Every structure is written in C-alpha cells, then in structure tokens.
Amino acid sequence: MSQTASEPLLAVEGLRVHFPIMRGVVLKRQAATVRAVDGISFSLNAGETLGLVGESGCGKSTTGLAVLRMLSVTEGSIRFEGHDITALDKSAMRPIRRRMQMVYQDPFGSLNPRMKVADIIGEPLVVHGLAEDRAAYRERVAELLRLVGLNAEMGGRYPHEFSGGQRQRIGIARALAVSPALVICDEPVSALDVSIQAQVVNLFQDVQARLGLAYLFIAHDLAVVRHISDRIAVMYLGKIVEVAPRQELYRRPQHPYTRALLAAVPIPNPRVEAGRAHQVLAGEVPSPINPPPGCRFHTRCPLATAACRVEEPVLRELSTGHHVACHLAG
C-alpha cells in the first residue's frame, strides 16, 4: 500500500531496539539485554525537520539506524512512504533505501580516501542504476557538487584535499545523489569547528528549501538543532521524554531534563553568559542494561518524588503538539 495524503512520511510506533549481551565461550548464553531504544513513537512529515536530542547513549543514533533498517527492530513498527518496512529483508529494502539516506558525523570516516570525490558522489547513482550514460552521470555529479556549494572541477580531487566542512558537503552531496525524501543526519556538524557548523546547518536548510526533503536531525545538544528543527524530541535512556514544536520547546520546556539541557546551551553574549547560573546535571546516565524503575530520570532529577521512583510517567499532551513524560509537568 502506498502513502495516503494524510499519512506522515515516516511513522514510528512503539519502537524497541534491544541488544543481547552474550557470555560463555563454548555454550553461549544471553547474560543481559541492552535496552538501547525502549518504546518510542514519533512521526515526520514530508519537508519537515525533527530534531532528536539527548546525551550520548540515549538511543538517538540507534533510532536512526533502526529507521534505515540497518539494525533489527525488537518490537514496534516503522512505516515509510506508506510501506511497513519493519521486517523487510535487505533486498526488499533496496528500492526503499534509495528514498532514505544518511549523513554521518565523521565525513572523513564515511568517505573512501582512495576514491576521487566525483566517484564518491556518483557511486550511489551506479548502485541504483540512476545514470543513463557516462555524460548523464558526469552532469549529475557536477550538479550535486554545485548544489552543496563546491565547484564541479573539485570532483577530480581526493577527500584529504578538502577541509572538514567541505568533506561534510561531499557527504551531503553523496546522500542527495539518489533524490531521497528523508535524510537522517547523525550529529552531522558535531565534529566541525563552531565557525563552520553554522555554514553547514545553513546548507542543510538551503537544500531542504530547494528539494523539499525531510530531516531526522540527531544531535547531543539543543544549540545545534535550534535553527533547523520544526519540532524537537528529547530522548533520555531509550525513551522520548518531551516533544514539542521548536519555539514552544525553547520557550516553555516542561521536562526537568529538557530544562537542564537548555541550561547547558551557552548564550552568545559573553556578559550575560558570565553572569548565568548553570544548572549542571548531577550524576551519570544510568546503564541501559538496567534502567531505573519508575521515571528513568529520577536518579538525576532535582524534583523527584517517591512516586517517581515506582511509577513510570507516560507522554501526555499538555498543549497542541507538546507532549511530556513527567508526573509534575503542567
């Protein structure tokens, strides 16, 4: 069945991604389970950007890989462009993978250093049989280089001849080669200098305005996703704890974890920043092998009550599109 007009581009329902930890040399047995993603639901419309934010280990990158079906889904469902892709095998996923691409954090690690940039960008065209002949291939590669702000002549060079920001542009061009509807951006600017980050975020926005793509934009802090996201979902230890339209989330954060993440975002004015009391999150993120009972955030939450230690809060809608999983919210 294909996507209906009212159906989102991507719909994730009750997604769980668990990894078994095996012990034993001869007789392997499952000793524990890592609950990397533990029951999350969200949707993404065509042309929309959803920021997915949380500390390292919260399950955001695992979510991205599961959506791309590069990881097996333990439970739940993933629908993309009207197709249930939850259990598709590699060959059934192949035509669908063309419509969903990934941009990685480390542009150098994801580019083959021995390939010329034109071949790196053009490779997906060959894999998916999208260039009619050599001339069409060359023209498409040149067009993609120009789209990401590079000269067509730069295609003859190797990745090491480019700066970090330029290499991320090459990674973006490669992702765009097959005309995806969704690009999963996994911390795409966090390895770049702060001065370059804004340029690359602007590029993502320009490309979206031209091509109407949707982005699932994964980041570990709320500063990076601020300008690019339409909506933002905050993840903690495998769960979404708050999701809201961007302005609403920054103006009226409801979950204590979101507030702590926002407090950690530096203010660009040095005088204001110097006089600011930072609310630092106490303690470490607990292990996803043995998450705390009740609210998973209770071990670090300054507002935790006795009920928080036993009762798990569910996501409740407090205002249009603003959902929070906290007993005290609202």
CB of 303 to ligand SF4, least distance (A): 4
CB of 298 to ligand SF4, least distance (A): 4
Q: Which of 177, 196, 186 is nearest to 106 (CA)?
A: 186
CB of 295 to ligand SF4, least distance (A): 3
Q: Which amino acid is at 226?
A: R
Choice between 144 and 232, CB closer to ligand SF4: 232
Choice between 136 and 314, CB closer to ligand SF4: 314
CB of 305 to ligand SF4, least distance (A): 6
Compute how many residues bind ligand SF4; rule: CB under 6 A: 13
Quick one: which of 308, 310, 318, 322 contacts ligand SF4 (CB under 6 A)?
308
Q: Which of the residues 236 through 265 are near ligand SF4 (CB under 6 A)?
A: 255-256
Q: Give every CB contact of residue 123 below 8 A, 6+ residues apart in sequence.
A: 115, 174, 177
Q: Is 327 in the site for ligand SF4 (CB under 6 A)?
A: yes
Quick one: which of 51, 54, 124, 313 contacts ligand SF4 (CB under 6 A)?
313
CA 151, 157, 162: angle at the middle one, nearest 5? 75
Q: Give every CB contact of residue 240 below 8 A, 6+ residues apart in sequence.
A: 40, 41, 42, 233, 234, 315, 323, 325
Per-residue x/- track, 266-305, ligand SF4 (CB under 6 A): -----------------------------x-xx--x-xx-
Q: Is 191 in the site for ligand SF4 (CB under 6 A)?
A: no
Q: Which of 69, 64, 78 is nearest to 97 (CA)?
A: 69
Q: Which of 174, 239, 183, 221 is nearest to 48 (CA)?
A: 183
Choice between 142 and 281, CB closer to ligand SF4: 281
Tell me which H or E stretch contains 288: none
- Segment near ligand SF4 (CB under 6 A), from 125-133, 188-196, 274-282, 320-328? 320-328
Q: Which amino acid is at 324?
A: V
φ/ψ of 240, rounded to 5, equals -85, 125
User: Beta strand pairing status for 231-236 and 49-53?
Assistant: parallel
Choice between 223 and 281, CB closer to ligand SF4: 281
**Collapsing DSSP states into helix, strand and coil, what is residue 116?**
coil
Choice between 152 and 328, CB closer to ligand SF4: 328
Choice between 102 and 295, CB closer to ligand SF4: 295
**Half-sphere exposure of residue 196: CA atoms within 13 angstroms, side-chain side:** 13
Residues lying near ligand SF4 in the complex (CB under 6 A): 255-256, 295, 297-298, 301, 303-304, 308, 313, 326-328
